[in-house]
Each structure stands twice: as structure tokens, then as C-alpha cells.
Structure 1
Amino acid sequence: MENCKPVNTLLAQNEKLIKEDGANKVDGFIYRSLVGCLLYLTATTLDIMYATNLLSRFMQNPSELHFKTVKRVLRYVKGTNELEIWFKKNESSRLFGFADSDWVGSHKDMKSTSGYVFFIGLNVFSWNSKKQRTMAQSTAEAEYIATAAVVNQAI
């Protein structure tokens, strides 16, 4: 992957990743190793959090499409390796956060994914992306669950 062509987006727009997609299976050890590396990178690269969360759902039985998507994320990382997290001194030390969710993002089990990010002033200091434990019956409920996770983290 050293000489790969970088891409500007993490995930292809029209590809839906599902557990049993009928494609040929790939070596699970290599797939798990690459996803593990991406999980390690999420500690300092928050923009890959959602994609890494999504890819980690297929660790048990990855297909060629899942492996292709992991390689795409690695190509994205290569193209954005100059991006950094900066902590700047500023006058404001106000704490604020943002939350969002997708409703029924996982069509296999009909669960949503929540994500949040916290700032102190202009500095990002905490972020997360996680599949919700329960099935939300509406977008409002999925957003409520995401907001509850943010409040829990803030406290």
C-alpha cells in the first residue's frame, strides 16, 4: 500500500456493506490485522472513526468487498496523513459537543450508529462512533439515544 493512489473519500457512495454479501471470502487474519491498525489510528484520526466502526462488524467472516473497503480507507489515510489534531490556546474554555446518528444504518439487525465529538474551546478532545444496543423505532428515537450517550459522556 506504500505506492497506492490516495482517495478523497472514506467509503464509496453506492456500496452497502452487509455480513453475507455472497462475495468470495478473504483471509480473516489479514483483514483483522488491518482493521486493528485502523482501530489504533482512530485514537488520533477521528475522521476514520465511522468507517472503522463499520468495518469492524465483519471481522468474523470478511468478503472481498469488505477487504476492498479496508484498502480504500488505508488509501484515504495515505492521502490525508498531513492532517493533524492541533490544540490551540484560546480565550474560551467552553465545553460543547455534537451528536448524530443514522437510523437503521445496519440493515442486517436494523440498528443505528451514534457518534459524537466534544470540544473545549476550539480543541477536539473526545469522540466516538458506536452501534446502538437497541433498535430505534424512528429517527427521533435514534437521535435521542445518541444525545443520551453524549450527555452520559459529558457528565
Structure 2
Amino acid sequence: MWYLDNEANNHICEDKDKFIELDEVIRGNNPKMFEDFKQAMIKEFEMMNIGFMFYYLGSEIKQEEDGIFVSQEKFARDVLMKFKMEDCIRVNTPVECGVKMSKNDEGEKISSITFKSLVGSLRYLTYTRVDILFGVGLVSRFMKTPVMTHFKALKRIL
């Protein structure tokens, strides 16, 4: 854990007795402490303040008075387009109740490359969509030899 000097010289080090926890700066509600930290980082490292963040690693960041909101709306739309599902019908539950899937399921084989690509995209979406986490984990068990049953379950999540 790193600490920020609470005194005037603003150094970063690992001495816990002289410094406040960095978590307090990041999660706290003290604008002066945050500004002091930012200036210490700019002085210590070659950086500049480029303002508010709007987009980071495929996530949209909206900073408003009542909080910071993270979404992956564009990424989700791109995944829908990639798998030609822009006009799909929305469902309330990502996993159909009562459906049993097995690695020994019979049926039309699906390209494991396509299946893995969709599973990976959905795994990335779980960062902001925890409601699909169980379903994605469930269907990811069948990446070795996916069949149409597994692919339909995956498409339902999408």
C-alpha cells in the first residue's frame, strides 16, 4: 500500500507512520486532499491534467453532481452488431429457467472461435452488468465443443 505525505513536501512512500493512506484520497470526499495528491503526482511523474475522463477501456464515464457513472453502452451495441443481433427481442432473465445444459449435449456444432469470442465479449460486459455474471459463467463451461443449445443460451444473455 502506498501513502501520501500529509505534510507540505508531498512525497509518496511506504512509511505508514508519517503518511495517510492513498485510499482516503481516492475514495474520500476531501477536494483539497485530492488536489494535493494530484499536484504531488504531477511533480513526481511526468503527467498533466487533461480534465475529466469520458472514455476508458471501452467504458463511458459520466461525472455529474450526484456521482460518477460507468457504462458500456457503446461496447454492448458493438457486440450486438458483431453478432448480427441489433434487432433482437429483450428478455427479463438472462438464463432460461429449467434448461439443463451438458457438455455431452447433442446438436449442431458451433464454431468454438465464434463461441469464445461471444463469451469473451460478455465476460467484459460483466464489469458493469453483474446481472449476467451467472449466465456467462454457466455457458463458458462449454467453450471446448459448443453446440446450438449452448449458443442459444449465450445469445439469450446477449
Interval containing the TM-score (normalised by the shorter chain) = 0.3 to 0.5
| Normalised TM-score (structure 1) | 0.46
Higher share of residues assigned helix: 2
| Normalised TM-score (structure 2) | 0.46
Kindly name which structure, 1 or 2, has the bigger radius of gyration based on alpha carbons: 2
